[in-house]
Amino acid sequence: MDAIEVIVAKRDGHELTTAQIDWVIDAYTRGEVAHEQMSSLAMAILLNGMNRREIAEWTQAMIRSGERMDWSMLERPTADKHSTGGVGDKITLPLAPLVAACGAYVPQLSGRGLGHTGGTLDKLESIPGWRASLSNEEMLAVLREAGAVICAAGSGLAPADKKLYALRDVTGTVESIPLIASSIMSKKIAEGTGSLVLDVKVGSGAFMKTVERARELAETMVALGSDAGVRTVALLTAMDRPLGKQIGNALEVEESVEVLAGGGPADVVELTVRLAREMLEAAGVSGKDPEQALKDGSAMDAWRRMIAAQGGDPDAVLPRAAESMTVDAPESGVLTTLDAYAVGLAAWRLGAGRARQEDPVSFGAGITLHAKPGDLVRAGQPLMTLHADETARFARALDALEGGYAVGPVSVEQLPLVIDRIG
């Protein structure tokens, strides 16, 4: 078998055989298939798609390229959650300890931000001493100590996906639903969780801009999880406006702690509780309700144990940006628009994100929102505060916000926070 045979088959719209899929994934991981050949195949998949069998076998081949974790020795069921990413999406931070406080173990492998979407590991690394890289033995120890662990995936987990994702990022093939779905699910299935809840974002600040595309991706991933024996459900949730009121690494940690303390913005609390209930149901765990765990302090206790078990100081003062400036309402009325992508891009330009994986982030940089769509505002009232380490960053952030917010006489209809449930 050779790479050209596989490329031509998909280029001409044919189904790939099991043997072709197994061979090309293994050969690419070993370096026998060149990057330019795999990029050609990825483009053919983007243009011609894959059916359910092909996607399932592609996913399994990527899982077999590395190790598969096993949590069967744990005394309680395991549940995990994955978000497709957005602006202000800090839900993993309060969600993992909340679900742990309600009776399930949460082995959460997370990633870093790139572009306008933030990364869970970058947020947590703003806590002094906290470690993202753990061995499998350390993950198990943290799980038993705190009930939840949030850390980076090891190099042995689906290495084919790590290599292919980097290639897709520079060849214009990121948007392929078969490749997105298999990328996410190969890691989540290999992670060994017993159940999985997917948060598929919809809107300007997400990869999926329309409900139709998001639903297609969600249905594909739910089918992959089900085929692999992992109970999987998905929620389609809004990302046409930012989630919560804080965007940026340390800022989002602060807001997450507010939620765990029984406060925080209504949308963050609502989505955290809804996802927690879905995770507990998928894991078959009944008992304490997530709302009660936020009120009685048990979720906060789990958070403090989790952070401390990974070397962090839950009482440490978080980083602050050196400079700030406010953006005021241009007139009185209703804040009708607050575009998630514009706000995310502005936060990225302030230093909260990175353009390349190797770039550093500014932990204190970001944006604090003082109003959300539908709120009444007065002319001159602060709409948001920008935070950066250098004043030179403000001009480019303001450029990104141009046209990204508007004040008018009446509210504009928005997507509901939870649009649909699949699975």
22 is catalytic: no
Among 80, 89, 122, 161, the one annotated catalytic: 161
Cβ contacts of 68-74, under 8 Å, gap ≥ 24: 68/189, 68/190, 68/192, 69/107, 69/136, 69/157, 69/190, 69/191, 69/192, 70/192, 71/105, 71/107, 71/140, 71/143, 71/192, 71/193, 71/194, 73/140, 74/105, 74/143, 74/144
Strand partners, 408: 334
Strand ranges across the sheet with 333-338 = 376-377, 333-338, 405-408
| Strands of 366-369's sheet in order across | 246-247, 366-369, 382-388, 323-328
* One-character DSSP codes across 249-274: HHHHHHHHHHHHTT-S-HHHHHHHHH
Q: What are φ and ψ of residue 323, in 5° steps?
A: -125, 155
Q: Looking at 123, 187, 188, 304, which residue is catalytic?
A: 187
Residue 105: closest CA among 57, 133, 72, 152: 72
Residue 38 in contact with residue 21, Cβ under 8 Å?
no
Catalytically annotated residue among 10, 112, 168, 274: 168
| Residue in 39, 183, 195, 204 annotated catalytic | 183
Exactly one of 10, 81, 82, 305 is catalytic; which is it? 82
Closest to 327 measured CA to CA, from 387, 237, 254: 387
Would the CA dihedral through 175, 179, 160, 19 be positive or negative? negative
Q: Per this entry, what is the length of the chain?
A: 423
Q: Is 161 a catalytic residue?
A: yes
Whether 370 is a known active-site residue: answer: no
187 in active site: yes
The question of whether 35 is a catalytic residue gets the answer no
Place of tokens 């514009």: 342
* Residues labelled as active-site residues: 82, 161, 168, 183, 187
